[in-house]
Amino acid sequence: MSGQDITIKAHDGGEFMGYLSKPASGTGPGLVVIQEIFGVNKVMRDITDEFAARGYVALCPDLFWRQEPGIQITDQSEEEWARAFELFQGFDLDLGVKDLESTIEHLRGVEGCNGKIGAVGYCLGGRLAYLTTTRTTVDAAVSYYGVYLQEHLNETIQSPLMLHIAREDEFVQKEAQDQIINALKDNSRVTTHVYEGEGHAFVRVGGKHFSKQAATASQKRTLEFFAKNLE
- Which positions are annotated as active-site residues? 169, 200
The H or E element spanning position 194 is: strand 190-195
- Dump the DSSP string for 39-71: BS-HHHHHHHHHHHHTT-EEEEE-TTTTT-TT-
Provide the residue count of the chain.
Answer: 231
E-only strand ranges, 55-105: 57-61
Pairing outcome for strands 140-144 and 113-122:
parallel
Residue 147: DSSP 8-state? S
